[in-house]
Amino acid sequence: MDQSSMESTARAMVAPGKGILAADESTGTIEKRFKTAGIANTEENRRAYRELLFTTPGVEEFISGVILYDETIRQSTRDGRSMPEVLSSRGIIPGIKVDKGAKDMALFAGEKITEGLDGLRERLAEYRKLGARFTKWRAVITIGAGLPTATCLRANAEALARFAALSQEAALVPIVEPEVLMDGDHSLARCEEVTEATLGEVFRALARHRIVLEGMVLKPNMVVAGEQSPVKSDAKGVAEATVRCLRRCVPSAVPGIVFLSGGQTEIQATENLNAMNRGHHTPWQLSFSYGRALQASALGAWRGIATNLAAAQKAFYHRAQMNSLARYGQYRPELEKQAA
């Protein structure tokens, strides 16, 4: 294991002012996104869309890395270069989603366990040859009546730790992603309670598996009220609850935390990240690893039409720039007018 290389990669992934683009949607997930924009879910459209994002002029100022999907890491741009090669040439670090999705947890109704550990060591070796320098594994935690159970938390934490160990063995930086879902009518306080229990379990498992904390990145949810909650979370409340929870659970040796956007809108995800960086000092870089919250406007502008390429890239550039400003606590709502 090349520890110094992993540590320098992890630090580069959370470099000041930069964040990670999650472009690792499965074929099924991207079909849903394409459907909203009236785009046929063909391999060529998926390839063209990812190329649009990865070749956006100047976006390397704000994007440190990209999480790829298995199909995408094997694809090439129109000029014949592999996707990882295109990213690396711009100083953007290629990564890869390696889990095989959250499946129903046997005998635990309403809960999920992420699969994909079988054969992972061999897949990691292949992905490294294809150009990946970091990996990602997502665990899904549901809040509900009697949920989550301690068994679900332990099982998912153990899987995350085994994934992280195999990644570091292959000299790949693991992004450890335990996501407490926004689904439900739970309060912000309940989300904080469950997120704290989840992160506590995860870091105990990482310690058992001898994970080098300096060579990993954490990708958690923000602490927010459920989507169906009658009481909505404002940015100040989200920032205070999230940072408090992280301080209780995350060792300072972890170089950075890249939040997922979950079900938040583009603006909400930027505002919440901005509030965390404006009013709080933490031992970690607080950054972003957004999918929809970086891509929604770009996808809507593109709609699968070649002549819309420039407009789509402008929308993506703008969203990346806004989140870069949020990394410094310097985002202001009036800056959104630039995208008009």
SS (H, E, C) the chain: CCHHHHHHHHHHHCCCCCEEEECCCCHHHHHHHHHHCCCCCCHHHHHHHHHHHHCCCCHHHCEEEEEECHHHHCCECCCCCEHHHHHHHCCCEEEEECCCCEEECCCCCCCEEECCCCCHHHHHHHHHHHCCCEEEEEEEECCECCECCHHHHHHHHHHHHHHHHHHHHCCCEEEEEEEECCCCCCCHHHHHHHHHHHHHHHHHHHHHCCCCHHHCEECCCCCCCCCCCCCCCCHHHHHHHHHHHHHHHCCCCCCEEEECCCCCCHHHHHHHHHHHHHHCCCCCEEEEEECHHHHHHHHHHHCCCHHHHHHHHHHHHHHHHHHHHHHCCCCCHHHHHHHC
Mean of the pLDDT values across residues 259-269?
96
Please say if 177 is a catalytic residue.
yes
Q: What is the per-residue pLDDT for 338?
A: 67
Rounded to 10 deg, the angle between the 266-279 and 235-249 helix axes is 60
Mean of the pLDDT values across residues 281-304?
97
Q: What is the per-residue pLDDT for 337?
A: 85
Please say if 266 is a catalytic residue.
no
To 10 degrees, the CA torsion angle through 105, 108, 112, 114?
-40
Cβ atoms < 10 Å from Cβ of 63? 27
Phi, psi of 73 (to 5 degrees): -65, -20
Q: What is the per-residue pLDDT for 340?
A: 59
Token pair recorded at residue 190 = 């309940």
Bridge partners, residue 180, by sequence:
141
Q: What percentage of residues in the chain have a pLDDT greater than 70?
A: 99
Q: What is the per-residue pLDDT for 131?
A: 98
Phi, psi of 94 (to 5 degrees): -80, 140
Token pair 């990708």: residue: 219
- Show Cβ contacts of residue 58 under 8 Å, excluding neighbours closer than 6 positions: 317
Q: What is the per-residue pLDDT for 1?
A: 56
Of these residues, 177, 192, 196, 271, which one is catalytic?
177
Q: Is the pLDDT of residue 2 over 90?
A: no
Q: pTM of the predicted model, to two decimals?
A: 0.98
Q: What is the per-residue pLDDT for 75?
A: 98
Q: Is the pLDDT of residue 146 over 70?
A: yes
Please give the distance of CA 302 from its chain centroid, rounded to a whole number: 23
- Show Cβ contacts of residue 138 under 8 Å, excluding neighbours closer than 6 positions: 97, 99, 102, 114, 177, 179, 219
Bridge partners, residue 285, by sequence:
256
Bridge partners, residue 173, by sequence:
134
Q: Is the pLDDT of residue 227 over 70?
A: yes
Give the whole-angstrom CA distance, residue 106 versus residue 95: 31
Q: What is the per-residue pLDDT for 204?
A: 98
Q: Is the pLDDT of residue 292 over 60?
A: yes
Q: What are the tens digits of pLDDT across the range 5-49? A: 999 999 999 999 999 999 999 999 999 999 999 999 999 999 999
Mean of the pLDDT values across residues 82-111?
98
Report the candidate in 27, 30, 98, 92 with the shortest Cα–Cα distance to residue 66.
Answer: 92
Mean of the pLDDT values across residues 255-266?
97
Phi, psi of 189 (to 5 degrees): -65, -40
Mean of the pLDDT values across residues 67-83?
98
Give the whole-angstrom CA distance, residue 241 versus residue 239: 6
Rounded to 10 deg, the angle between the 43-54 and 27-36 helix axes is 80
Q: Is the pLDDT of residue 339 over 70?
A: no
Q: What is the per-residue pLDDT for 279?
A: 84
Give the whole-angstrom CA distance, residue 110 versus residue 88: 41
Superfamily of domain 3-339 in the CATH hierarchy: Aldolase class I (3.20.20.70)
Mean pLDDT (the chain) is 97
- pLDDT bucket at 318, cuts 50 / 70 / 90: very high
